[in-house]
A and B are shown apart, each in its own frame.
Chain A
Amino acid sequence: MLLAGLATGGIYTLVAIGFVLLWQTSQTINFAQGEFVMLPAFFVLAAMKFGGLSFAAAMLVGLVVSLLVLGLLFKRLVVDPVIRHGVLPLVISTIALAILMKEGVKEFYAADAQPFPAAWADTNLQFGGAVVSVQNLVIIAVAVLAVAALQYFLGGTRTGRRMQATAQNPVLARVLGIPVGRMVLYTFLINAALVALASFLVSPIYLAKFTNGETLGLVAFVAAIVGGFNQVRGAIAGGLLLGVVDNFVAAYLSAQYRAAIPLFLLIAVIMLRPQGLLGRAEERTV
């Protein structure tokens, strides 16, 4: 039970981290983040169906295409032309992008849910009476590895530190000779990699369907706020918390109202601790 919650939370965490990173470095609030998770699974399916590739090769193709489309093209074609008009138009633009992606998949691939192969065995293990599904263990392991690698990259490498500097103070970063534009691009690529990973993990469970993104996008944002919008650590805590609470409520309280949990968590956190559980209060700039 707790394990299933942690597995769900692990996926939420990956999506939420990408969300937070985009916000930090480029003030992009990506309303299409959920659709970003929906899409890579379809890249893989399309590569297998039309390209006749094996599952492993298709995953690789899916990842590369995700990096190109959801990272590079998203930044160049959607964010760059609109961000100079402000945050609000960009939010609306990503909403339109979400519609475009959803309709595109529905029109050009399939409107019904597609089975997505899992990269692991769908069996259960017995641990002294407790049944543990391999699927959940794999998800948790991959999520932990991804987060650890990301933390190492951000904190331990030269490029990662430059990215953090860019997020904290772009003007100063530029003065120090950091190529700010390229650092922002890296963030978009990392976000694309994270959502692709989340996509490969979540699709075997929920099947690949064009509407998958709707709840995921909301959950990612709630996780980010609950944890603290300006902290990668916060996104991790928020994602895990939300996943666990989600599974427990569905099991013990009401499966019908499962989708309403984000609302209650969101309002509770905003009322009690608006900067998030682990966040710092953000100073308003005039």
Chain B
Amino acid sequence: MKKALALAVLALVVAAPFGLKPYGIYLLSLWAVMTIAAIGLNLTLGYAGQISLAQASFVGIGAYTAALLTTQGWPLGAAFALAALLCFVIGWLLGYPALRVAHHYLAFVTLAFATLVYLILRNEEWLTRGVYGISGIPRPTLLGWSTKAPLDFYFFCLGVLALASAAAWWLLRSPWGRAFTALRENPVRASSLGIDTRRYTLMAFAIGSALGGIAGVLYAPLVQFIEPTAFTLGLSFNLLLMVIVGGAGRFGGPFLGAAVSVLLPEWLRFSEGLYLMIYAVFVMLLLALCPSGLLGLAERLRDSWPRFFKSAT
């Protein structure tokens, strides 16, 4: 059942771009990129139970790394390696002091960090060109396969997404991942079972941040023009809401949440500025009624379906 669903989704995302206009393909690529960042945040939020408000900053760090390196003629692969390493180390350094205390501290340390990253991106013009941003970011060529066309680049994004989700899948099935889950379910019991809770939480946050960096490396050649305001708190909130709406701590959550978050503004275009307000109210209702997100809601419906059926007959 689950396998069939996964295959159907896979077939859908492979077949979807054919027949779509370039803008539709752009939206699909954006979905793939945001899903990677959301998978990273899901590790932090859904499995380790920590709120990070700096995921957009890590996406930004990744995007600027890619933009700076590739416009200098470096291959995108180097940007992937450097961005992932950079975000991992920064995440570790940020999380280390914050996790000494209590869970809500990381939220505010990352919030302050997001402000700092924005200020650096805006003010250090020698490196980031400040508010003018960086344009003309080239799309990569892979073993002679040029991904310049939107469709080719979408499949490139999809490939990276597949790798990232496979890595996350493997991580969550490993003893490490089980420790993450134990941590979320009951941190006190986990620590009494000999799990070093702080180290695992820190690792989840650092790995999640690294995935944010990887998403950023894809984001830069996707939009081909980046500037500081793209990576402010708004995007962090958006990523956070993606994870929550989809279903935090569920593997499929980020995929669904990112789809809702990327596509909903298009569907609600008629409402113009009201869109964000509708979305915010929707999230608040969802949290009040079903904090496990849309996937949790679907599960609940599925479980209650036979009962409903029985009572009807």
Contact = CB atoms under 8 A, between A and B. Distances in A.
Contacts, number: 114
B98 interface: yes
A221 B115 CA distance: 14
Contacts of B233: 214
Contacts of B244: 89, 92
B150 to A, nearest CB: 31
B97 interface: yes
Contacts of B116: 259-260, 263
Interface in B271-305: 273-274, 276-277, 279-281, 283-284, 287-289, 291
Interface string B1-31: 0000000000000000000000000000000
Nearest to B280: A100
B112 A286 contact: no
- The contact size tier of chain A is 35 or more
A186 B24 CA distance: 51
A222 B288 CA distance: 28
Most A-side CB within 10 Å, residue of B97, B112, B233, B279: B112
Contact of A270 (B49, B105, B240, B280): B105
B225 interface: no
A257 B112 CA distance: 12
Contacts of B123: 256-257
Nearest to A104: B277
B284 A93 contact: yes
Interface string A248-286: 000000001101101100110011001000000010101
A90 B240 CA distance: 13
Interface of A: 29, 31, 78, 81-82, 85-93, 95-97, 99-100, 103-104, 106-107, 214-215, 218, 221-222, 225, 256-257, 259-260, 262-263, 266-267, 270-271, 274, 282, 284, 286
B101 A78 contact: no
20 contacts: A31-B107, A88-B103, A90-B287, A91-B51, A92-B51, A93-B288, A96-B280, A99-B277, A99-B279, A99-B280, A103-B273, A103-B274, A103-B276, A218-B108, A218-B111, A218-B112, A225-B105, A270-B98, A270-B100, A286-B188
A266 B112 contact: yes
B237 A95 contact: yes
A91 to B, nearest CB: 6
A92 B241 contact: yes
B60 to A, nearest CB: 16
Interface in B83-134: 97-98, 100-105, 107-109, 111-113, 115-116, 119, 123
B165 to A, nearest CB: 23
B277 to A, nearest CB: 5
Given A87-B104, A100-B280, A103-B277, A95 B97 contact: no
Nearest to B289: A81
Contacts of A90: 287
Contact of A96 (B108, B284, B289): B284
B72 to A, nearest CB: 26
Among A95, A103, A225, A267, residue most surrounded by chain B Cβ atoms (within 10 Å): A95
Main secondary structure of the interface of B (DSSP, over half): helix
A92 B240 contact: yes
Contact of A271 (B97, B115, B119, B274): B97
Given A81-B289, A96-B287, A104-B277, 5 more contacts: A78-B284, A89-B244, A95-B241, A221-B108, A263-B116
Contacts of A87: 103-104
A284 B115 CA distance: 31
Contact of A99 (B102, B112, B276, B291): B276
Nearest to A91: B51
Contacts of B289: 81
A262 B240 CA distance: 22
Interface size bracket, B side? 35 or more
A82 B288 contact: yes
A107 B276 CA distance: 10
Closest 8 CB pairs of A and B: A263-B112, A81-B288, A100-B280, A96-B283, A85-B291, A96-B280, A89-B291, A103-B276
A104 B105 CA distance: 29
B277 A85 contact: no
Interface string B242-283: 001000000000000000000000000000011011011101
B287 A82 contact: yes
Interface string B179-213: 00000000010000000000000000000000000
B97 A256 contact: no
B109 A263 contact: yes
Contacts of B288: 81-82, 93
Contacts of A95: 237, 240-241
Nearest to B96: A271
Contacts of B279: 99
A89 B240 contact: no
Nearest to A214: B233
A99 B236 CA distance: 12
